Amino acid sequence: MKKRYNIIFMVCFVSAWIIYGLIQQKQFRNDYKEAVGTITDIRIGRTKVSPGDFTLLYEYTVGGKKYTDGISCNLCENLTISTVKNLFLGKSFPVLFSRKKPSWNNIMIKKDMAINMNYTYPDSLLRFDSVLTCK
pLDDT for the residue 91: 95
Domain with 40, as residue range(s), is 32-132
| Same domain (yes/no): 68, 4 | no
User: C-alpha angle 128/76/74, rounded to 5°?
Assistant: 80
| Same domain (yes/no): 77, 50 | yes
| Dihedral-angle region of residue 125 (phi above 0 means left; psi in -120 to 50 means alpha; beta otherwise) | alpha
Total of domains in the chain: 2
| Same domain (yes/no): 89, 47 | yes
| Same domain (yes/no): 83, 41 | yes
CA–CA gap between residue 40 and residue 35 (Å, rounded):
15
| Same domain (yes/no): 71, 111 | yes
Q: With contact defined as beta carbons under 8 Å apart, do 70 and 56 qualify?
A: yes
| pLDDT by 10s per residue, the chain, length 135 | 677 777 777 877 787 778 766 666 666 667 788 999 999 999 887 666 666 788 999 999 999 999 999 998 888 887 888 888 999 999 999 999 988 889 989 999 999 989 888 889 999 999 898 888 887
| Same domain (yes/no): 21, 70 | no
| Same domain (yes/no): 18, 62 | no
Fill in the DSSP letter of residue 125: G
| Same domain (yes/no): 24, 70 | no
Residues 6+ away with beta carbon under 8 Å from 100: 27, 31
CA–CA gap between residue 110 and residue 125 (Å, rounded):
8
| Same domain (yes/no): 37, 25 | no
pTM: 0.77
| Same domain (yes/no): 66, 90 | yes
User: C-alpha angle 67/89/32, rounded to 5°?
Assistant: 35
| Same domain (yes/no): 77, 89 | yes
